[in-house]
Structure 1
Amino acid sequence: MQIEQLNAMTKARLMVIDASAAVQAAAHSLSKPGIGLVIVCDDDGAAAGVLSKSDLIRHLTSPRLPAPPASALMTSPIVSCGPQDDLHAVYQTMASRSLQNLPVLDVGAKPIGILDIRDAMRALFREEEIEEQMLFNYVTGVGYR
Structure 2
Amino acid sequence: MRIEKLYPMTSARLMVIDVAATLQAAAVTLSNPGIGLAIVTARNGKAAGVLSKSDLVRHLTDSEQPATVEALMSRNIVSCSPVDDLQAAWQVMVENRLQNMPVLGSDVKPLGVLDIRDALKVLFEQEQLQEHMLANYIAGIGY
Question: What 5-or-longer segments of structure 1 have no aligned partner?
Answer: none
| Runs of 4+ that moved beyond 3 A | none
Question: Could you list the per-position Cα deviations for residues 80-129 of structure 1 after superposition, in whole angstroms to 9, with x for gaps in the alignment?
Answer: 00000000000011011110000000000000000000000000000001
Q: What is the alpha-carbon distance in structure 1 between the residues aligned to residue 137 and residue 123 of structure 2?
A: 21
Deviation of 1:79 (Å): 0.1
CA distance, structure 2, for counterparts of residue 3 and residue 107 of structure 1:
14
CA RMSD, 1 decimal: 0.8
Shift of 1:10: 0.4
Q: Tell me the distance in 2 between the aligned counterparts of 1:65 and 1:81.
A: 34
TM-score, normalised by the number of residues in structure 2:
0.97
Figure out how many residues of one structure are paired with residues of the other and give that number. Answer: 143
SS of residue matched to 1:40: strand
Counterpart-to-counterpart distance in 1, 2:68 and 2:91: 32
Tell me whether 1:103 sits opposite 2:90 in the alignment: no
Q: Which runs of 5+ in 2 are unaligned?
A: none
1:74 matched to 2:53: no
Quote the residue 2:138 is aligned against: 139
Q: Secondary structure at the residue paired with 1:114? A: strand
Per-residue displacement from partner, 1:4-63 (whole Å, max 9, x unpaired)?
111000000000000001111111011110000000001110100000011101211233
